[in-house]
Homo-oligomer: A and B are copies of this chain.
Amino acid sequence: MANDIQKTKKASLSTQGYRGTRDFFPEDQRLKKYVYAKIHTVMHSFGYEEYNGPIVEHLELYAAKSSEEIVREQLYSFKDKGERTLAIRPEMTPTLARMIASKQRELTRPIRWYSIPTCMRFERPQRGRLREFDQLNVDLFGGIPLDEDVEIILTAIEVLKSVGATDEQFTVKVNHRGIINAFLDHNLSISKDIIPQLLRLLDKRDKISSEVFHTECKKLELDDKKIESLEVFLNSSIEEIIQILKENSLDAIELKKRIDILKELTNSQCVKFSPDIMRGFDYYTGMVFEVFDNHPDNNRALFGGGRYDNLVGAFGGDELPGIGYGMGDVAILNFMESHNLTPKLKKETDVCVLRFSENDRLDSLKISTILRNYQIKVEAPIVQSKFGKQIQNAEKSGAKAVVFRGNDELQNNLFAVKWLHSGEQETFAIEKSGYEQFIKKLKNI
């Protein structure tokens, strides 16, 4: 390794970053900040508060709280120079659990928290999936499950709407783990040992063929009749399922309440019951949901979440039931792209101050400073070039006006303004009233 480094030091370094990570040039960063600003606004409108935590944690935290798949296959883990084993966070929930557990008694309920942490997972990079990503995490604890479940889905819908989506462009598929559990247990009499494997199989049903699904079901000791019942069940409405489950339909009745409220509040059909939504993680214990992009070119699960009962149990804390979801930035950026919702954002300079010689440096800097004191975004000249070239640069910066002082203006205590949208030019007195007149005009463009 030491040799490799030595070699690279002399040869020319690669400008490529690590595979599955992204460089955010200003135009990319502007887009990300635009989306995040929308998210912050939505979350605050529901009374959620932002938190954050470390990008590395002790490996033990993830070993205890993350899924086996993450821990075994996707973790970036390593030892620090003091031999402590750490890992870069693959998800936020373990940190959230640790933080909540550390102050469980002090925190005012309900707890409405969100975060947009950067996470890393060792995966094969592909559309919608990178090794480094940001993930909006929204969690809610300490209330009545029905209210919490409705609210958390509303926030997810509003996040999508905030970037311009309409109800028709996405579907929120909801399910309750208890529904399928009741059916498998009471109606099909599947043994409890097999249920977790069967749930995992159902989770990937839309990615495999009907034949493979059958074969795999048979491996789990389901006969043809049970497979048929299962398939009928999976194609039933929530009302039909309540009938099928009879006295075991409590969870289905509860889920129907959520769907009905959400239909009424959103005045749309974007929330749908879908009995095959499982969610990968083992810790969900109640309602689960997944948001799908309805666009034919991007018809996939964008993100999802669900209810869990025992977030902080591993820390010896009291049970704290809650609900949450995680939405990757890659998913929402892809969604926006597929629906033509990506805005073209330009640099937002207001004014460029020009300069023509070494002698007017101080003068141009003073003007720049005064304008900034009025909260104007000003680019001061740091190159000397011809008037035309400086105008061109100002146009690239998105400036509305350029400000300069020629000989006339210098002699008469004025400054000149050229408005870039019209090409018109005018002068203002180089004193408080002149600056204020200029700024008033500038703000009206």
Residues of A that sit less than 8 Å from B by CB: 1, 4-5, 8-9, 12-18, 21-26, 28-30, 32-33, 44-47, 49-61, 63-65, 73, 76-82, 84-86, 88, 95, 98-99, 101-103, 108-110, 112-113, 118, 120, 122, 132, 140, 142-144, 146-148, 150-151, 154, 158, 261, 264-265, 314-316, 347-349, 352, 361-362, 365-366, 369, 372, 375-384, 393, 396-397
CB within 8 Å for A23 and B109 given contacts A45-B377, A64-B8, A64-B13:
no
A80 to B18, CA, bound (A): 11
Q: In the complex, how many angstroms separate the beta carbon of A104 from the nearest chain B beta carbon?
A: 9
CB within 8 Å for A315 and B12 given contacts A23-B53, A78-B76, A377-B45:
yes
Q: Within the oligomer, what is the number of copies of this chain?
A: 2
Contact present for A46 and B372 (CB under 8 Å):
yes
CB within 8 Å for A98 and B15 given contacts A110-B383, A377-B44:
yes
Contacts of A79 in B (CB 8 A): 78
Contacts of A142 in B (CB 8 A): 382-383
Contact present for B26 and A49 (CB under 8 Å):
yes
A-B contact pairs, 6 of them (CB 8 A): A15-B98, A29-B51, A55-B132, A56-B76, A77-B78, A81-B122
Q: In the complex, how many angstroms separate the beta carbon of A59 from the nearest chain B beta carbon?
A: 7
Contacts of A86 in B (CB 8 A): 18, 76
Contact present for A377 and B47 (CB under 8 Å):
yes
Q: Which 6 A-B pairs have the closest CB atoms?
A: A143-B382, A78-B78, A21-B54, A15-B102, A47-B379, A26-B49
Contacts of A73 in B (CB 8 A): 81
Q: Which residue on chain B has the smallest CB distance to residue A73? A: B81
Task: List 7 additional contacts besides A24-B53, A30-B50, A151-B380; criterion CB under 8 Å.
Answer: A9-B63, A9-B64, A13-B60, A23-B51, A25-B99, A144-B384, A146-B361
